[in-house]
Structure 1
Amino acid sequence: MAYIVYSFAIFFIVAWVCLWLIHIIALSYSKWKLHRTADRSPPEQPYPGVSILKPLTGVDPNLFSNLETFFTLDYPNYEVLFCVENEHDPAVMLVNNLLHKYSHIEAQLFIGGMCVGVNPKINNMQPAYLAAKHPLILISDASIRMRDDTLLDMVQHLKDDVAIVHQMPFTCDAEGFAGVYEKVHFGTAQTRMYLFADFLGITCHVGMSSLIRRCALEETGGLAAFGEYLAEDYFMAKEVVSRGWRMRVASLPALQNSGTRSVGALQARLMRWARLRIAMMPTTTLLELLSECVPLGVGAAWAAGQLFGAEPLPFFLVHVLVWFLSDWLMLRSVQNGSPPFTKVQFLLGWVWSECCAPFVLAVALLSPEISWRTRCYRLEWGGRAHELKPKFKV
């Protein structure tokens, strides 16, 4: 019995030390990696053309201003291809207004999609992908807002052996507790694992803003090859990397700027992502739980008492305090300055985020069905999806 207790105690201490190494590496790497200024001097060779795919469904208060940033990019050769599934979608009128306003920018609207699988995003983008004329494809979600130098920064990361350059998920400034919660989550826990994975060269790819070599994508069967997955970004990166290509994170984070923010909406999104991770990599579920501050701190405090005679409560409180301070420094690094809220607001958002993380994972484990807009899916082990109530029509 004592052997089992000590084995568990050693396991928790090793996990605790490993997580703090991840903290140190990710924070140090963020200082070097993020917010580096793009080189705007004329290149020796012309920059390759980029086809930007923008899948749209519905309209929110920030959509017009978000899309407008794609017409003002400081990049010499690109086209914007908007994709709308339904001709009655209100996004059609909004896009047409932008096409008229920025008639000097090469842009098109594709309506109707093409059914190549269960993934509605892939179905929506497929006609635009087939019509894209440039060697680089930027897949960009509707909520993304771009700085004028973002595309230039991404292309400059695209070395000869790199096929994918993706932006690390982050958020624009927003008012209210939901805005604080969103920025705290994406600027701390999400950033820590994302940067650590990039530092080690591990495949960690969220496809909300991702630049891909078309030739590398065609090697895997093209965009349609990933229509059977909901987490098409993960499998796309996995297949591309398996063929000898590398992937890198851009220095500018992806600025999500949804016009409708709520705590419930963000938690539903996090649960959907957790369900996808569980289906794709079920063995990592325990490790994911141990990467959270509270579960790891409780386990490490108990282990320190068993192995070193330490008082568990003071150990746990110091662990939480140092984790909190580390996350504050990480958020400042990702924000490139002070966040748009007070330290008290950060504390409230951080406590809420940390306390909710185990709950989100537990709900994802107990309820495997995935709701995505008006659709509902069930996942198989390995990541393939089946729509429970098909609604997509070609």
Structure 2
Amino acid sequence: MPPFPMGQPSLRSMASSPSAVATATPSAGSDLLDDQWTSSLTSGLAGLVLVWYVVMWAISGLGLSVAIRRYRPRPVAPPLDTPTPKPGVSILRPLKGLDPNLYENLLSSFTQDYPGPLEIIFSLADENDRALGVVRELIDRFGAREGREDGVDVRVVVGETPLGPNPKINNLAKPFALAKYDHLWVLDSGILLPSRQTLSRAIDQFLLNPGPSSSVSSTSYLPSSGHKTEKQRVGLVHHVPFAVIPPRGNRPLGSWLERVFLNGNHAKMYLAINKLSTSSSSSSSLMCNRRTNPDELTDATFWDSKLKPSYRTELDSCVMGKSNFYLKSDVQKIIPGRKPPNPASNPPPILGLASFSPYLAEDNMLALSLMHQLSIRHSIETPDVAINLIGPMTFRDYFWRRVRWIRVRKEMTKAATLVEPLTESVVLGFLTFWALRTYLSESFFGNLVWWKAFLAFWIIHWTSWATLDWKVMTSLSPTPSEESGERFQLLGAWMIRECLAFPVWVVAMMGNTVEWRGRTYVVLPDGKAKEVQNGDGNGVEEVEAGERSTMFAWFRSRRRQQAQGLGYERISSS
């Protein structure tokens, strides 16, 4: 058998033919360089994966550390006893339909042990909404009336203001304008307050950090946020959501998936990123961006066209709008985005809550705008969670709910959304094993069959990941014994959720249309949403424009052009 395959020269023929040697040598050298370049690239990518794996474990560990130190100690420290009088607070609760546990959720607003003035405003878009009956029952029981000194000041607002596609903003517009007090607490109808002191402890955050003139010191349950952010006043207080499924009744798979997502992966990242943002002075899963330097703003309220902002290596905090405190006067000064409004613009900009109605993720946009335009910071440093009662949710409901919010988020924070799969245990686990095999295949694995090595790695990796998520969940839980009694159901749901994360992300990246409360919207490239009406030609064009902004747009455009016989150079402008 010849030493070379047919068609290749032998060593003797190459030696006798100088031209053959001259021809073959550059080719061999080129192949060698290509192999070296490929090997270097592979090693470099493997190294980056291993570094990222360590970073993800560090972030996850930080989230667990915050959960243990801030939420696990029981009993919870009482609110501050300071001579400073408590400010008046207006609790705004927008309602739509009969949410699970609605009576107890709303009841927890009435039973707050708060020494300052308090009012509660319920708002409904439709007078036929069944939630109105629950509200009237609570008002009869707790509402202020003549001859009763312990009653709560309660108002009910019926009828929304059509400002934009976001139904929550439309529902909040009237109560926002009617609120008597500057301190507003916006609470979703699905939120149950875990303690009678939740309101008092949240207000303490405003009193402890009113600005540079503050002389009040921090307490044990309010750790210092450190560094130069102590000079910034707190302008928004929020709570990490903690999902609970009612112990009785219908409990489909989707409800379990939502529960393990919110209480595990979402909670640890929410806590870690907010801790990093307050320490360096804000999803998603995870709306985090670089923030501009607020010290360069010549006026905290107005935009200077000559401003050239620099960038610090700081994170925006992640804010979820289930339980948010902020000042009415602050919101009335801002518009969506990082730049303050320009008073010289023509026409003048719409300020305040109404300007956020085009965004479905109004909570994060509002928080981002407060931080950048007014140079204030956020706080999540109270030991209370926002208990989120989850109703019956099918597998399909869960899947498309996650798709919806990724599609909303990706147009607001593209970079964070693109790397999201690299924060999930399944994708990161496969990549990490590949990186380990790249570096350690000879010295570490030896003669071990690769799938056995993978199985050993995967057991260690996934067990460690699940254990960390479990500890975060039980640390946040007001009743950890309930989680312990359902550990096997939670583990099964956790495994399904982890395996679903990447398929959900892929589907979400392939489109920009979302369905919410029976309506269809398209999320535009600037993060705004537009409702699509049946038979609305403009709406269809907006859908197509939104689809072209996704990562698969180029391929879809080529396929569409081929089908229409238009040629590749012609791009539709619709």
1:280-313 residue CA offsets vs partner (Å, 9 max, x unmatched): 1122233210000010000000001102335450
Counterparts of 1:349 and 1:105, CA distance in 2: 41
Counterparts of 1:268 and 1:247, CA distance in 2: 30
Q: Which protein has the larger Cα radius of gyration, Structure 1 or Structure 2?
A: 2
Instruction: Tell me how large the CA RMSD over aligned residues is.
Output: 1.9
Contact kept in structure 2, 1:281 and 1:382, CA below 8 Å: no
Counterpart pick for 2:332 among 196, 213, 218? 218
1:109-163 residue CA offsets vs partner (Å, 9 max, x unmatched): 1111112222110011100000001111111111001132221222122221001
What secondary structure is seen at the aligned counterpart in 2 of 1:157? Answer: helix
Counterparts of 1:24 and 1:258, CA distance in 2: 27
Query: How far has the Cα of 1:183 moved from its partner?
Result: 2.7
The residue number in structure 2 matching 1:209 is: 323
> What is the TM-score normalised by the length of structure 2?
0.65
What secondary structure is seen at the aligned counterpart in 2 of 1:138? Answer: strand
Counterpart pick for 2:457 among 315, 327, 334? 315
Contact kept in structure 1, 2:404 and 2:515, CA below 8 Å: yes
Query: How far has the Cα of 1:261 moved from its partner?
Result: 3.8
> What is the TM-score normalised by the length of structure 1?
0.94
Question: Mean Cα displacement is larger for which, 229-238 or 37-46?
Answer: 37-46
The residue number in structure 1 matching 2:303 is: none
The residue number in structure 2 matching 1:105 is: 152
Query: How far has the Cα of 1:365 moved from its partner?
Result: 1.2
Question: Which amino acid in the other structure matches residue 222 of structure 1?
Answer: G
Counterparts of 1:379 and 1:111, CA distance in 2: 28
Contact kept in structure 2, 1:38 and 1:152, CA below 8 Å: no
Counterparts of 2:130 and 2:523, CA distance in 1: 31
Question: Which amino acid in the other structure matches residue 164 of structure 1?
Answer: L
Counterpart pick for 1:84 among 98, 120, 124? 124
Counterpart pick for 2:90 among 48, 51, 70? 51
> 1:27-42 maps to which residues of 2 (within 5 A)?
27-34=64-71, 37-40=76-79, 42=81
Counterparts of 1:64 and 1:209, CA distance in 2: 17
The residue number in structure 2 matching 1:199 is: 275
The residue number in structure 1 matching 2:204 is: 156
Does 1:292 pair with 2:436? no
Contact kept in structure 2, 1:144 and 1:256, CA below 8 Å: yes
Counterparts of 1:179 and 1:370, CA distance in 2: 20
Query: How far has the Cα of 1:61 moved from its partner?
Result: 4.3
1:77-115 residue CA offsets vs partner (Å, 9 max, x unmatched): 211111111122122222222222212211111111112
Q: 1:61 to 1:39 in 2, by over 3 A?
A: closer
Question: Mean Cα displacement is larger for which, 282-291 or 190-199?
Answer: 282-291
Does 1:244 pair with 2:375? yes
What secondary structure is seen at the aligned counterpart in 2 of 1:195? Answer: helix
Counterpart pick for 1:257 among 382, 389, 392? 389
Q: 1:62 to 1:181 in 2, by over 3 A?
A: same
Query: How far has the Cα of 1:60 moved from its partner?
Result: 3.3
1:352-389 residue CA offsets vs partner (Å, 9 max, x unmatched): 11111112212211232111102111011231111112
Query: How far has the Cα of 1:178 moved from its partner?
Result: 4.5
Counterpart pick for 2:239 among 158, 167, 170? 167
Counterpart pick for 2:102 among 63, 66, 88? 63
Question: Which amino acid in the other structure matches residue 48 of structure 1?
Answer: P
Counterparts of 1:294 and 1:53, CA distance in 2: 40
The residue number in structure 2 matching 1:96 is: 136
The residue number in structure 2 matching 1:74 is: 113
What secondary structure is seen at the aligned counterpart in 2 of 1:260? Answer: coil
Counterpart pick for 1:120 among 153, 167, 172? 167
Counterparts of 1:305 and 1:376, CA distance in 2: 46
Gaps spanning 5+ residues in structure 2: where? 1-37, 144-150, 211-232, 283-316, 335-350, 446-452, 535-574
Counterparts of 2:261 and 2:166, CA distance in 1: 26
What secondary structure is seen at the aligned counterpart in 1 of 2:485? Answer: coil
Question: Which amino acid in the other structure matches residue 47 of structure 2?
Answer: I
Counterparts of 1:58 and 1:173, CA distance in 2: 18
Counterparts of 2:42 and 2:325, CA distance in 1: 48
Does 1:367 pair with 2:511? yes
Query: How far has the Cα of 1:42 moved from its partner?
Result: 3.9
Contact kept in structure 1, 2:80 and 2:204, CA below 8 Å: no
What secondary structure is seen at the aligned counterpart in 2 of 1:188? Answer: helix
- Equivalent residues, number: 390
Q: Which has the higher contact order (CA 8 A, sep 6+)?
A: 1
Contact kept in structure 2, 1:38 and 1:153, CA below 8 Å: no
The residue number in structure 1 matching 2:476 is: 334
Contact kept in structure 2, 1:301 and 1:315, CA below 8 Å: yes
Q: 1:85 to 1:149 in 2, by over 3 A?
A: same
What secondary structure is seen at the aligned counterpart in 2 of 1:45? Answer: coil
Counterparts of 2:239 and 2:409, CA distance in 1: 19
The residue number in structure 1 matching 2:345 is: none
Contact kept in structure 2, 1:369 and 1:377, CA below 8 Å: yes
Q: 1:262 to 1:101 in 2, by over 3 A?
A: farther
Counterparts of 2:269 and 2:65, CA distance in 1: 13
Counterparts of 1:35 and 1:54, CA distance in 2: 28
Counterparts of 2:533 and 2:513, CA distance in 1: 12
What secondary structure is seen at the aligned counterpart in 2 of 1:349? Answer: helix
Question: Which amino acid in the other structure matches residue 477 of structure 2?
Answer: Q
The residue number in structure 2 matching 1:25 is: 62
Counterparts of 1:263 and 1:79, CA distance in 2: 39
Q: 1:35 to 1:333 in 2, by over 3 A?
A: closer
Counterparts of 2:465 and 2:102, CA distance in 1: 36
